A and B are shown apart, each in its own frame.
Chain A
Amino acid sequence: MKIVVCVKQVLDTRVPLAVNGSVVQKEPSPIYIMNPADRIALDKALEMKASLAGEEITVITAGPARAEQVLHMALAAGADEVVHLKDEAFEASDAYTTALALSRVIKELNYTMILCGNRSLDIGASQVPAFLAESLGIPQVTGVMELEIMSPGRVKLWRRLEKGRRQVIECPLPALYAVDSSAGQPRYVSEFSLRQAAKRRIRSLTLADIGLTQVDVGPQASLIRVVSLSPPKPRPKKIYIPDGSLSASQRMSYLLSGGLAKGKESSLLEGTADYLAEQIIKYLIDEGILPK
């Protein structure tokens, strides 16, 4: 079974950004990363590979020369093969043209499953997976949190809905699944393996190789045009309050960010079993989980 994972190189948003015609980093040399949701998708593919024999992972990106970095990352993480659809014009392509180009490459790959990130960190339109599935004529499932191969050709998927709800569905293969960025924590890739991967070959394709020309990609071919970009409204600064329940590094994050949103509140109850049961039921009713 062959899994194709589509990945994108995006700007690291930990570095302050500025809007100046386009989004730029306020850093002398820009720092790029693999789109977080794509990385989780790759991790899901790697997990499947670890638990099932005979899996093969191909990672593909459409992007300028510098996007090679994310493919090296994919190789270091454990991908078997990587494909770079290389053209500077992809920088300014919209989701439709990108998906079209990707579909041309993937068609030739003899795939069983395609994994994408649900959403990119930069544009966040969540459209590439949909266009791609459509042009390949296969089903797509978005917002995937978990997936499990039930029998050859059938996959069970858990989709993310609101308020922690999940939809469980089954879907036949071949299909495209768009993985949510919160479906996992990125698995660490060590510097030694990155260095090792940097020496490996990347299969690189040009537009001509897939039967396209300059007019098929880039702004002129795009259906969507970005009219303007503006910086976000400044958020009100939260006040740092020392809190004994946080660890030192969490307190650090607080201080550095001028107050992060605190995670879920937890409270510890003590008392008799009856009292505790009562409190739990009260909580469930208050939260709307149990009917009144």
Chain B
Amino acid sequence: MTPVSDIYWHISGYAIFWILFAIAFGLFAQRVYFLFRLLRLGRREERSQNLGHRIKTMLVEVFPQWCNLKTVTRQDLAGIGHSLLFWGFGLFLISYIIFIGLGGGFGLSSVLAGSTFETAYSSILDIAGLFVCAAIVWAAIRRYIIRPERLEASFEAGIILLLVITLMVLHFCIEGFGYAAYNISASYPPIGAAFASFLISTDISESTLVAVYKGLWWLHYAIILGFLVYIPRSKHLHILASPFNVLFKSLAPKGALNLIDPEKAETIGASKIQDFTWKQLLDLYACAVCGRCHANCPATLSGKPLNPREVILNLKDHLLEVGPQLLKGETPSANPGTAMIEDVLTEEVIWNCTTCYACQEVCPVGIEHTVKLIDMRRNLVEHGRVSPSVAKALESVRLLGNPWEQPQSARLDWAEGRKVNLIQDREEVDVLYWVGCAGAYDPRSRDISLAVVSLLERAGVNYALLGTEERCCGDPARRMGEEGLFQMLARSNIEVLKKYSFNRILTHCPHCYNMLKNEYPQLGAQFEVVHHSQFLLELIHSGKIKLQERQELRLTFHDPCYLGRYNDIYDPPRQVLQAISKATMIEMRLNKTKAMCCGAGGGQIWIQSEKGRRIEDMRFEQIQEVDAQVVATACPYCTIMLDAVAQIKEPTGKIKVMDIAELVVRALAQ
């Protein structure tokens, strides 16, 4: 018995029901269609391959709320609250379709009324309603009282909390008044029925009960319709967009950038919102404004202008602002104050990113921040809009084959005075040791290369180096947006590599590792690549490297971004350390997926953002928080950055910065 079957002022309740519905749905559909058309302004991008796999991922991520739960930590339990809301409100949504839609609109309430299904479902809703209320109260307390750094108490957030809690209260009231009005006494649903018997026990007249019931029912209906209209027009658009965003998320290796074909591309990179692909635009809709990204961003934390959440939100506002004009075929960029680069996001913001991937790793809806920032860098590079230090590094890469402005002929200088195997002298080798630019030229990193070579020799590995035929892998160029240079380097390296016969490539640099393993395949070259943390572990396990008895060494490990977050290699370096020291590994506050960047990645070592604090200084302070004698790492950049700080902050050498290879060399059995 829903009030829809009644007549109001000579108008059929059904008519009112459906007219209201048509208006609301019309407004909803109009907005969704508008948003869809905006997406189509973006460039094409293939994101529908492997649909089966995609659907499975979406089902796993969204419905069980893994997307949120995976980020739950002891300090940040909000994911649990969101999951309660999601499940609870999901049950309500289904109930709206069944009880209001089918029951009310289609007049099937007489079929449903009193059925076991109704009683059971309503009972579940009662319990779900309690959970939802609890989650809402918690959310409100967090936003308005605790105020964690990542959240702001926005007006929009307030509205939605209020709406949802009103719906919950109405649910209980409608149940109570409905049961009481028709004098149904039952023991289920527990809250509704209890409330009904309370109402019956009071001396409220039956006609009042009926009138209140009807009034509340229509109010309830109106709020639900209002919700439908409001959602696609608010920040809560993420409710609609994020499942699709998860469905279409990249299946490429983490953080991989798309390959530009200069012959086909209309523009290089993005300077206008419509230069992004549709998926990059969908990202903007999907943002839930949760702030997880900026709470983990080293640039934001160190006080630089970049804030990944603001990047997404500003781009979204910009899309919504200029979209209507673009749809009409006008060029809004002619208007002052609407240039995407400069007015919406400054060049400085775009160059602040270390591409550390911390934002993407925690984003519950799979937003790709780095791809957008690098796409904008690509456009800046194309127009020569780079800082002198970046220009210098890039030119050095182009002319000399490395970003350190060192001659190619000096690439093997690090091995001066010691015998190393060169691939040019060999028929076939098992392991090709790729040294990388830092390992070849940087005085600190050369020690790592020497350590690796001595371990290879000690273990009797059939290895060789490319020597002066090796050039920069292209990671700095690509991350700084110089796609053309990356392609040039990658092609020439691939050509060189294909000349020789080897089983796999070993490298101690996670940037080279990521490039060779995950991004060279874009140019048709598939190599088996192994990082030295994995390789050393292999050598230790197989007994090819014999270590002394384990020492008592207090070690902590700094996870390099391109080893950890990009390639999910967290355990091998830790296991290597455990083979060396019998003391338990000390973990820093921010470790593994949350480890803070050393500040060098994404070309940042040359970009040199001057604002705010130095990221490496902040990371070093985190190292100082734990009582470790050695901070081990497995990346030449991290070693350079952290060691430079250590020399100043710990001049007595109380904390040493060492690569795992150097530690293994020290621990070799005599």
Contact = CB atoms under 8 A, between A and B. Distances in A.
Interface of A: 12, 14-16, 25-28, 31, 33, 77, 185-196, 242-244, 247-252, 255-256
Interface of B: 260, 262, 268, 381-382, 384, 386, 388-391, 394-396, 398-400, 404-410, 441-444, 468, 482-485, 487-488, 599-600, 605-606, 608, 614, 616, 640-641, 644, 647-648
Contacts of B390: 188
Nearest to B488: A191
Contacts of A188: 381, 384, 386, 390-391, 394-395
A187 B396 contact: no
A191 B482 contact: yes
Contacts of B640: 248, 252
A180 to B, nearest CB: 16
Nearest to B600: A248
A242 B606 CA distance: 18
Given A14-B405, A185-B391, A189-B384, A248 B599 contact: yes
Given A27-B409, A252-B442, A190 B482 contact: yes
Contacts of A256: 404-406, 441-443
Given A14-B400, A28-B409, A192-B268, A242 B644 contact: yes
A25 B399 CA distance: 13
Contacts of A251: 644
B484 A33 contact: no
User: 7 closest Cβ contacts across the A-B interface?
Assistant: A191-B484, A192-B484, A185-B388, A188-B391, A187-B384, A15-B407, A242-B647
B420 to A, nearest CB: 19
Given A14-B400, A188-B381, A248 B485 contact: no
Chain B at the A interface: mostly helix, strand, loop or mixed?
Answer: helix
Contacts of B408: 27-28
Contacts of A247: 608, 614
Contact of A249 (B400, B407, B444, B606): B606
Contacts of B641: 248
Nearest to B382: A190
Of A33, A193, A250, the most chain B CB neighbours within 10 A belong to: A193
A195 B398 CA distance: 12
Contacts of B606: 249
Nearest to A43: B384
Given A243-B648, A252-B605, 5 more contacts: A14-B406, A16-B410, A189-B384, A192-B484, A248-B641
A244 B409 contact: no
A257 to B, nearest CB: 9
Contacts of A252: 404, 442, 605, 640
Given A248-B600, A255-B444, A16 B648 contact: no
Contacts of B262: 192, 195-196
Nearest to A240: B443
A191 B400 CA distance: 14
Nearest to A193: B382
A191 B640 CA distance: 29
Nearest to B640: A248
B582 to A, nearest CB: 33
B399 A248 contact: no
A141 B406 CA distance: 36
A14 B614 contact: no
A33 B484 CA distance: 19
19 contacts: A14-B400, A14-B405, A14-B406, A15-B407, A16-B407, A28-B468, A33-B399, A186-B391, A188-B394, A190-B268, A192-B262, A195-B262, A196-B262, A242-B648, A248-B605, A248-B644, A251-B644, A252-B640, A256-B443
Contacts of B442: 252, 255-256
Given A190-B485, A191-B485, A244 B648 contact: yes
A208 B482 CA distance: 42
Contact of B399 (A12, A26, A196, A255): A12
Nearest to B610: A247
Contacts of A12: 399-400
A186 B387 CA distance: 10
Given A14-B407, A247-B614, A256-B442, A187 B391 contact: yes
A242 B657 CA distance: 15
